[in-house]
Structure 1
Amino acid sequence: MHDLTGKTVIMTGAAGNLGRAASRTFAARGARLALIGRDPRALQEARAALPPKTESLSLAVDLLAPDAVAAMVEEVAAHFGGIHVLANLAGGFSMGPPIQETSDADWEFMLDLNARTVFNCARATIPRLLEAGAGRIINVSARAATRGMGHMGPYCVSKAAVITLTESLADELRHAGINVNCVLPGTLDTPENRAAMPDEDHSTWVSLDALADVLLFLASDASRGITGAAIPVYGRS
């Protein structure tokens, strides 16, 4: 049920911690992967880490540039002959000052990084999925989207926007065979988080492979009955 043989997956944020774990998991199940990110060298390293014989393509793209995103989608479709899954993994986190001290630049940075990238990629990819009459869109929100927290306002708002956008897309596409869902990770077990929180119990955090397995489920036919969901993946944290 989790077989992705013959399925083409656009994966943004592919050179990041989650992107590398998810790309390996998807490749092991037969996916053809378009690895999308900003750093060509990091993308090549991620591509080199894939299982042997994985069909893959890596493209450095500015996801905040609509024309560049549209061109990327068309290049992927031409290279593989179609698109079946869009996995929007690009995003990021930063703490900040209280709202009254938050600059326009800081506010826009979080909204751009976490919400606009999803919007741009979905807008460009949906016509291809509609042509195919089926597809999956998977977005990454966060547990922080469910409750605003101090010094995290722009981040919380940006991730809440991902949930709302997921629900809107799911409603628009529910009769087109296209399922749209998002995941809400808790604290991920990454080198950066371990360095930032060395005294925490890392065993309670969500491993990257565990989250990648949830993404795989959502990309597969096993999730055919689920759309518009915001799925908590909190581990024991």
Structure 2
Amino acid sequence: KQAVETILAHFGKIDVLAHLVGGFAGGQTVADTDDATFQRMLAMNLTSAFHILRAVLPPMRQAGSGRIIAIGSRAAENPGPSVGAYSASKAALVSLIRTVAIENKDLGITANVILPGTIDTPANRKDMPGGDTSQWVQPASIANLIVWLAGDGGKDVTGAAIPVYGRGL
């Protein structure tokens, strides 16, 4: 909330929220996932979004415009084994963003979530040394989509969960 107040004091309004906070922990079955890991996934991938949304929506509503873009995961719609806590937290994020889209559809605010597959980052390359990086999503692809959704091109897109899977279909 303090960050939003600082931005409003300096710029007068908030045009775009690109919520990029998130992460992965786990790698265990649901039966073997401890409470701390589950809570960590919810905190990183859902609660962080909830708090920033609650802070930016009032000034966006007052301005009569705004673009909200969050980063989810392919796992939100296509979960796999040993990623239950992560998948559940990202699926909840999709639901939260779609709810925000519905609640603000007549107020000039759009809300969408991008669902990337494995992103080609140094951390992922380190964690998955045998992965086929030619199939992974390039960060620039996600950045370009964020820019498009934030601009005039994305004005009629809201409530969408947009798959960006690279070549890893």
Q: TM-score of the superposition, structure 2-length normalised?
A: 0.95
State how far apart, in whole Å, the 2-side matches of 1:236 and 1:203 are: 7
* Alignment gaps of 5+ in structure 1: 1-69
1:97 to 8, 25, 28: 28
* Map of 2:70 onto structure 1: 139
Aligned length: 168
Q: CA deviation at 1:99?
A: 1.8
* Map of 1:172 onto structure 2: 103
State how far apart, in whole Å, the 2-side matches of 1:141 and 1:82 are: 25
Are positions 1:182 and 2:97 aligned together? no
State how far apart, in whole Å, the 2-side matches of 1:72 and 1:193 are: 29
State how far apart, in whole Å, the 1-side matches of 2:132 and 2:78 are: 22
Q: Write the deviation string for residues 173-208 of structure 1: whole angstroms up to 9, x where unpaired.
A: 000000000000011011111122223321221111
State how far apart, in whole Å, the 2-side matches of 1:97 and 1:196 are: 15
Which stretch shifts more, 72-81 or 94-103?
Answer: 94-103
Counterpart secondary structure, 1:194: helix
* Alignment gaps of 5+ in structure 2: none
State how far apart, in whole Å, the 2-side matches of 1:100 and 1:195 are: 27
1:197 to 122, 128, 131: 128
Higher relative contact order (CA 8 A, sep 6+): 2
* Map of 2:54 onto structure 1: 123
State how 1:1-237 maps to structure 2 within 5 Å: 70-237=1-168
Identity of aligned residues (%): 45
Distance 1:202 1:225, change over 3 A: same
Letter of the 2:111 partner, please give it. V
Q: Write the deviation string for residues 136-183 of structure 1: whole angstroms up to 9, x where unpaired.
A: 010111000112322111100000011101110000000000000000
Counterpart secondary structure, 2:70: strand
Counterpart secondary structure, 2:67: strand
Q: Write the deviation string for residues 76-111 of structure 1: whole angstroms up to 9, x where unpaired.
A: 110112111111100001233222222211111100
